[in-house]
Homo-oligomer: A and B are copies of this chain.
Amino acid sequence: MTPSPSPGSADLDFTLDRSSPVPLYYQLAQQLESAIEHGSLPPGSLLGNEIDLANRLGLSRPTVRQGIQSLVDKGLLVRRRGIGTQVVHSQVKRPLELSSLYDDLETAGQNPSTRVLRNEIQPASAEVAAALGISEGAEVNVVERLRLTHGQPMAQLRNHVPAGLLDLDTGRLESTGLYRMMRSAGVTLHSANQSIGAREATAEEAELLEEPEGAALLTMRRTAYDDTGRAVEYGSHVYRASRYTFQFQLLVRG
């Protein structure tokens, strides 16, 4: 028998800083996560039981459990009673965040840029009012942008924001993403309803996106809410299907 590559409980050294303002369980979770990413904790390996781990780190078991639990919720670890906690064996990358297209493209090295086609205050149409939960005719900031990657058109983005919520400077809209501007304005996003579909390009869309007329386009409509339940943005976007797909990962909630 060769020495079996069975999941041995790896013992790594973690450094915890009790004087740091960042919680201990979170420090543990971060170091575990980076150990998993760097391969120090290969897929399938066991973590060693929680009580030993707590003793070795000088922590209590609930604190260790809290740190581990956060990674279980992320889908990186799996717990089994009587067995232990082991690193999940599949490739887990992004658990589908409420991310902005701009950030997604930037992290993918796609070199995104933006051209603002429209940026004005208008009374809300019936569709926009219903999506934002405001009265028809109330003032909303309408922004229409063309998103490009490597100089090629990628998507037409049309956003509606309740007037007064945000200062939508055209210059900043061209240099960064809308969600970044929201967060720096103190708006904390909480949830969003999304709807993804497809349809054929109209003549105007075809010209703007440099696609043949009637080409298949991906559509996405999204209403985003902050943590008080207030609708802060309604977006109606169109993507070139030949150059973009939505990619994400789902987790089964146990």
Interface residues of A (CB under 8 A from B): 43-44, 62, 73, 75, 78, 88-92, 95-98, 188-200, 214-218, 225, 227-231, 241-242, 244-253
Cα(A229)–Cα(B217), bound, Å? 34
Q: A252's contact among B44, B191, B242, B251, by CB below 8 Å, is which?
A: B191
Apart from A190-B252, A197-B246, A216-B216, 16 more pairs, CB < 8 Å: A75-B191, A88-B227, A90-B190, A90-B191, A90-B229, A91-B193, A92-B191, A97-B250, A98-B252, A191-B252, A193-B248, A196-B196, A196-B218, A198-B218, A199-B216, A216-B217
Smallest CB-CB A-B distances: 3 pairs: A89-B229, A198-B198, A198-B241
Q: For the complex formed by this chain, how many copies does it contain in all?
A: 2
How distant is A187 from chain B, measured CB to nearest CB, in Å?
11
Is there an interface contact between B227 and A198, defined as CB atoms closer than 8 Å? no
Cα(A97)–Cα(B33), bound, Å? 24
Is there an interface contact between A251 and B191, defined as CB atoms closer than 8 Å? yes
Whether A253 touches B197, Cβ cut-off 8 Å, given contacts A75-B191, A191-B90, A216-B217, is: no
Is there an interface contact between A218 and B191, defined as CB atoms closer than 8 Å? no
**In the complex, what residue of chain B is closest to A223 when comparing beta carbons?**
B90
Question: In the complex, which residues of chain B have a beta carbon less than 8 angstroms from the beta carbon of A92?
Answer: 191
Is there an interface contact between A217 and B198, defined as CB atoms closer than 8 Å? yes
Question: In the complex, which residues of chain B have a beta carbon less than 8 angstroms from the beta carbon of A215?
Answer: 200
Q: A229's contact among B44, B73, B231, B244, by CB below 8 Å, is which?
A: B44
Q: Which of A190, A198, A250, A251 has the most chain B CB within a 10 Å cutoff?
A: A198
Question: In the complex, which residues of chain B have a beta carbon less than 8 angstroms from the beta carbon of A246?
Answer: 194-197
Cα(A91)–Cα(B249), bound, Å? 23
Is there an interface contact between B245 and A98, defined as CB atoms closer than 8 Å? no
Is there an interface contact between B97 and A96, defined as CB atoms closer than 8 Å? no
Is there an interface contact between B190 and A229, defined as CB atoms closer than 8 Å? no
Q: A250's contact among B192, B197, B231, B253, by CB below 8 Å, is which?
A: B192
Whether A96 touches B96, Cβ cut-off 8 Å, given contacts A190-B90, A245-B197, A252-B190, is: yes
Question: In the complex, which residues of chain B have a beta carbon less than 8 angstroms from the beta carbon of A191?
Answer: 75, 88, 90, 92, 249-252
How distant is A33 from chain B, measured CB to nearest CB, in Å?
13
